[in-house]
Amino acid sequence: MPLELAIILPTLNERGNLAPLIQRIENALKPVMDDDGWEVLVVDDDSTDGTAEEARKLARTDRRVRIIQRIGRRGLSSAAIEGFCATAAPFAAVMDADHQHDPALLPEMLATLKADEADICVASRFAEGASTEGWEQPERERLSSLANRAARLITGVKMSDPMSGYFMLRTSRALELTPRLSGIGFKILFDLLATADATLRVRELPLKFAARREGESKLDRAILFDFLAGLYDRTLGRVIPTRFALFGTVGGLGVIVHYTVLTIMFTGMTATFWKAHTIAVLVAMSFNFWLNNWLTYRDKRLKGFGRLLSGWIGFCATCAVGGFANVAVATLLESQGVFWALAALAGILIGSVWNYALSSRFVWGR
Ligand code: GDD
Ligand code: MN
């Protein structure tokens, strides 16, 4: 039979979960389609536990399994998009690889779509009849339902779980929306719904949200941040890119750090001005490096002493160049009769753009 369904499994360190999950998918689909009617696409972001190797091993003896290994890229949403783009199957499902999502729902999702009763089927953790033994921490469940309520307001779609990670739709529909998706973070379903402007007919199926089988959640701490970044991205992000906005905010905080250190050293400890100022520059630069690494470049975070040290040196070098551009532009403008505060602002802007461009390329670029 022709290929009908692709099951996209985004993975980050899920090695032990893969083989048993593919077995469960096979069991779930056996009654409704031939063995060659479906394929599994493992989209792995260069896991350190050998997930991609494991997928290759499985794929060598089972042609229904395919592997897309991405290097230097991160993100659940973009991994799902990668999957849509890489399959010839007319229907595509996205699900977690950790067994929290029950493959037994796949046949009903597919039947609903084929009967054209809906454009997208979503497994909901909050629908009537769903159960949630999989919630490891109660605060995570509360956060999720809060994010869901906000998402409902924004998408205008009346559904119980627009943040679910388990859904199915026509691949062509997903591809049609893809050029307008933000692709940032984990909320791919929310993105699809928001981008489609409530034109997708949604059918929700209650999900028995199970506990993760092996390994640990990758989204726990990041979820609120991702959500806020996603909101920003959909609104102001069109004018000022999200990353640059974060970089700028960090820069602003750096100025506060700078003044704090300067004030303490210069007035409190009566250091000479140039000494106090130099130390303040160093502290502020290090602070900015640390915060950018932690926040702005969360997905490309430098880890380990060696990489951190070379990153820090690179960042300081970048700032030196940016600072030079800053002073040069400001001085030039001021000498041309531009009001001093405006000239300074122009210098700061040019310097920041410069710092941003250089550091995203040379410090966090891979
Ligand atoms: N390729 C790739 N890249 N896969 C990733 C990434 C990434 O950056 N981050 C996570 N994954 C994979 C995981 O390996 C897993 O298969 C799946 O995406 C979901 O990640 P979990 O870490 O298990 O997420 P969770 O259980 O905490 O979050 C659940 O709830 C979210 C909404 O609250 C999931 O169902 C999410 O899909 C859902 O959006
Ligand atoms: Mn999970």
pLDDT of 135: 67
Ligand 1 atom having least distance to the Cα of 216: 22
Judged against a pLDDT cut of 80, whether residue 219 lies above it is answered with no
CA angle 11–293–308, rounded 5-degree value: 100
Q: How far apart are CA 262 and CA 283, in angstroms?
A: 10
pLDDT of 304: 86
Q: Which two tokens stand for residue 294?
A: 């932690």
Check if 17 has its Cβ closer than 6 Å to any atom of ligand 1. no
Q: Output the CA 260–ligand 2 centroid distance in Å.
A: 42
Query: Which of 12, 54, 122 to mutate to test ligand 1, by most ligand atoms within 8 A of the CB atom?
Result: 12
Question: What digits encode the pLDDT tens for the residues 265-319?
Answer: 888 777 778 888 888 888 999 999 999 998 888 878 888 899 999 999 999 999 8
Q: How far apart are CA 291 and CA 170, in angstroms?
A: 41
Q: What is the mean pLDDT of the chain?
A: 88
* H or E stretch covering 183: none
pLDDT of 176: 95
pLDDT of 136: 63
Query: Which of 13, 81, 96, 133 to mutate to test ligand 1, by most ligand atoms within 8 A of the CB atom?
Result: 96
pLDDT of 87: 97
Q: How far apart are CA 152 and CA 154, in angstroms?
A: 5
Instruction: Calculate what percentage of the chain has a pLDDT beyond 70.
Output: 97
User: What band does 241 get if pLDDT is binned at 50, 70 and 90?
Assistant: confident
Query: How many C-beta atoms surround the C-beta of residue 134 within 10 A?
Result: 20
User: What band does 114 get if pLDDT is binned at 50, 70 and 90?
Assistant: very high
Query: Which of 149, 214, 219 to mutate to test ligand 1, by most ligand atoms within 8 A of the CB atom?
Result: 219
Check if 10 has its Cβ closer than 6 Å to any atom of ligand 1. yes
Ligand 1 atom having least distance to the Cα of 143: 33
CB 45 within 8 A of CB 70: yes
Q: What does each C-alpha distance from 141 to 103, 129, 204, 251 come to in angstroms?
A: 22, 16, 19, 34
Q: Among 204, 177, 207, 210, which residue's Cα sits nearest to residue 191? A: 177
pLDDT of 345: 85
ipTM: 0.97
pLDDT of 31: 96
Task: Please indicate, yes or no, whether the overall pTM of this predicted structure exceeds 0.90.
Answer: no
Question: What digits encode the pLDDT tens for the residues 12-33?
Answer: 999 999 999 999 999 999 999 9
Check if 59 has its Cβ closer than 6 Å to any atom of ligand 1. no
DSSP state of 179: G
For ligand 1, atom 35, name the residue with the nearest CA.
165
- Provide the edge-to-edge strand list for the sheet that holds 91-94: 65-69, 38-44, 5-11, 91-94, 167-170, 120-124, 202-206
CB 213 within 8 A of CB 99: yes
Check if 165 has its Cβ closer than 6 Å to any atom of ligand 1. yes
Q: Output the CA 83–ligand 1 centroid distance in Å.
A: 15
User: What band does 223 get if pLDDT is binned at 50, 70 and 90?
Assistant: low
The phi, psi pair for 162, rounded to 5°, reads -70, -5
Q: Which two tokens stand for residue 342?
A: 């405006």
Q: How far apart are CA 75 and CA 187, in angstroms?
A: 10
Q: Output the CA 217–ligand 1 centroid distance in Å.
A: 7
Nearest bound ligand to the CA of residue 52: 1
pLDDT of 222: 67
Check if 106 has its Cβ closer than 6 Å to any atom of ligand 1. no
User: What band does 141 get if pLDDT is binned at 50, 70 and 90?
Assistant: confident
Q: How far apart are CA 102 and CA 25, in angstroms?
A: 9
Least confident of 185-199, 218-232, 316-330: 218-232
